[in-house]
Amino acid sequence: MIKLSNIRVQGFRLLEDAEIAVESGSTVIVGRNNSGKTSLTEIFEKFLGESAGQFRLEDFSGALRTKFTEAKHLYDEGRSQPVDILKALPSITLELVFNYADHVGDLGPLSPFIIDLDPACTTSIVRIVYSASLATFENLLDIPTPLVEQSRAEEKSESVALFRHLRDAIANAYSIQVFAVDPTDGDNVRKFDNTSALAQLIQTGFVKAQRTLDVTTRRDPDVIGKLLSQLFKTASHLEASQEDKDIVAQLKTSVSKLEGAVQGGFDTQLKGLLPALNIFGFPSLNDTDLMPHTSIDAEDLLTGNTKILYTGADGVHLPEGYNGLGTRNLIYILLQLETLHKSYRATPTRPISHIVFIEEPEAHLHPQMQEVFIAKLNEAVSELSKKFPGEPAWQVQFIVSTHSSHLANAAQFDAIRYFLSVPSDTAGFRRTKVKDFRKGADTITKEDRKFLQQYMTLTKCDLYFADKAILVEGATERILMPRIIEMIDKGAEESAKLGSQYITTMEIGGAYAQKFFPLIEYLELKSLIITDIDAVYLKEKRYQKCLCAKGERTSNSALKSWFNDKEISIAQLLAKTPDEKTRAFYRIAYQTPEDGSLHCARSYEDALILANLDHFEIDDDADAAANAWDKAEGFGKSEEAIRFALMEEEWAIPKYISDGLAWLALPPPPAAAPQEVPQAEKEVA
């Protein structure tokens, strides 16, 4: 079995240098908006799809575009060798790693790419590069005089003229080159004269997000019906299944009969529409007469005239546009997969690897259908392969990009690839950092992975897509959090308002918060964990809950885990500094006394009361904490949360929560100080 196991992209948009491990079945790409997910699909399309070679200046990673100006300086100085100038220019690289079983005899199209001499090596590396050559690089760096003069007239630098020139020059100076790389010796490289060997090795397919299904026009959209012509084409190939060939033959016979009928009567009538040319002396004795001839092509008939209808019980069949968008999208995806599968089967020299990208399959699908889709995707391969019983199963690997928490959480943990946008080393630009849940996240134990997988599947949490996260212990905090954020934002600057950021709030309970610590750290997701101090004291050989003033230690497992102390005391917890409560990307918050008060609450409910004594008719005296605790024990948590969220106008947020949210509102920890970028580069970006 030969499989694509790893992808490395360099120099393409946000994928400045990104590695992605590929599952043998389905790999799921998740991440926030503008994190580079679409770029992964598009680099395959530009190297291996119908858009092969159609790169633009903007496709080069922002941080690498400075290389154009560096190469220009070397070229203008005139002291550097052409080879050195060529090396200074940026390039875009797609590197594919294939694994093959050592017992495989005939490696077919992969054989030309295996150049190592190590019998124990079962890896092959294919490098595809979009770069300039010695014969063309001067066309990139020799700026036409009119562009230089225009920039001077506009008081712009020559760098601006260079980038204006590059927009058109890149297409003529750059080309795709294919190499085989020795996995045991990176200096051992074989260059191919063309891309034909690559085309035989790997085939790509793309199922794009279907946003055209809901286009509102006067005519019904026939997006699904148009796919029938593609299915007809693949069914007409010599390599198609016998069943498909029989259907095509029957279609052509039907069309032939129709064509004969048309030519028998329709053409005779059509002749009457021809102009009376005889008045001009045509035809003469030496001229032939004119005669209409109508031909009907089955493929053209399918392309422009065939529609999909949904059968009705009363004989009234509904047009394609009359069904729900979700159903139509699912049908569209399945037909696309069928088309790609048959196209793969119809290829004379069947490629070793078939990679199919599915973009946002969740469009218009309800949550349960999304979960079923990702779970059944690999089963669809087996089902489609049944039409070819004498042949191997469809050798396909799916790469699915999604914004759906339902779909992402239904996928296996190891199949997740989390794309994170981080600052590049060059100021003003960003790059994609890939988190591989199979070979990374090794700080998460197997037991915790199982828990997190089940929890996230059940709760449909948005950790993969949020800008920041708030993890709370109970329903009261979760219900009140939107109101609290609204109150916090009233006095904040626009850039620091939490309501303007995509923040997910998760109810996780006090006993399980620590299981999320390694995941949050791995995702580099700025998060606030709000939990209870849970004071207890020893009574009759058992620890029982009590007021903080009486408490000896905490029963909260998250706090014990955070400070790595199973017997940490209440006094020690109250003495902890903000720095001790903060790690790189996340912070823990628990009850502390309000400003000017000596009382400390045990849970969120009595903390809310202590911060708002007048709302509960409690005096601010020595018994305030005890009275608040008694009051909290007596009211329903959700009822009080709703009261404060909807009915009370003026009330105070407990200090430990307001302090934590103030920290959360700040930007994430900065990366290493980047270098400054020339002004011309910023204009291009």
SS3 of 441-467: the string is CCCCCHHHHHHHHHHHHHHCCCCCCCC
| E-strand stretches of 228-346 | 309-310, 318-319
3-state secondary structure of 33: coil
What's the half-sphere exposure (Cβ side, CA atoms, 13 Å) at 106?
2
Q: Are 112 and 126 in contact (CB under 8 A)?
A: no
Give me the helices (H) in 490-619, please.
517-523, 557-562, 570-575, 604-611
Q: What is the per-residue pLDDT for 667? A: 82
pLDDT of residue 67: 94
Residue 619 backbone zone (phi > 0: left; psi -120 to 50: alpha; other: beta): beta
Measured in residues, the chain has a length of 685
Number of Cβ atoms within 10 Å of the Cβ of 455? 17
Average pLDDT, consecutive stretches of 10 residues, N- to C-terminus, the chain (685 residues): 93 96 94 92 94 93 92 91 94 96 75 92 95 92 86 78 92 95 95 92 87 47 54 61 66 62 58 50 50 57 55 56 61 84 84 92 79 83 84 90 89 91 88 88 81 82 91 87 91 85 88 90 94 94 94 95 96 97 95 94 92 91 93 72 74 94 84 39 39
Burial of 25 (0-12, 13-18, 19+ CB in 10 A): middle
What pLDDT, on a 0 to 100 scale, did the predictor assign at position 503?
93
End-to-end CA distance of the chain: 43
List of residues 6+ apart from 263 with CB closer than 8 A: 293, 294
What's the rounded Cα separation, in Å, for the pair 326 and 328? Answer: 5
Strand ranges of the sheet holding 553-554, from the earlier edge strand across to the other edge: 542-545, 535-539, 553-554
Could you give the CA distance from residue 531 to residue 516 in angstroms, rounded to a whole number? 13
Contact 424, 382 (CB under 8 A): no
pLDDT at residue 442 in the model: 72
Q: How distant, in Å, are the alpha carbons of 252, 446, 634 from that of 203?
A: 30, 36, 66
Question: Can the peptide bond before residue 283 be classed as cis, meaning omega within 30 degrees of 0?
Answer: yes
Q: pTM of the entire structure?
A: 0.81
CA pair distance 561, 555, nearest whole angstrom: 11
Burial string for 158-182 (b: 16+ CB within 10 Å, else e) reads ebbbbbbbbeebbeebbebbbbbbb
Decide: 509 and 474 in contact? Cβ < 8 Å: yes
And the tokens for 642?
A: 């709703």
| CB-based contact 128:45 (threshold 8 Å) | no
pLDDT on residue 239: 59
pLDDT value at residue 675: 37
CA dist 67 → 86, 123, 147 (Å):
10, 32, 20
Helix axes of 227-235 and 298-305: crossing angle, nearest 10 degrees: 160
Question: What pLDDT does residue 462 have?
Answer: 87
Tell me which amino acid residue 217 is: T
- Spatial CA neighbour of 615 closest among 591, 661, 647: 647
Taking the C-alpha atoms of residue 435 and residue 18, their distance in angstroms, rounded to an integer, is: 10
Q: Helix, strand or coil for residue 202?
A: strand
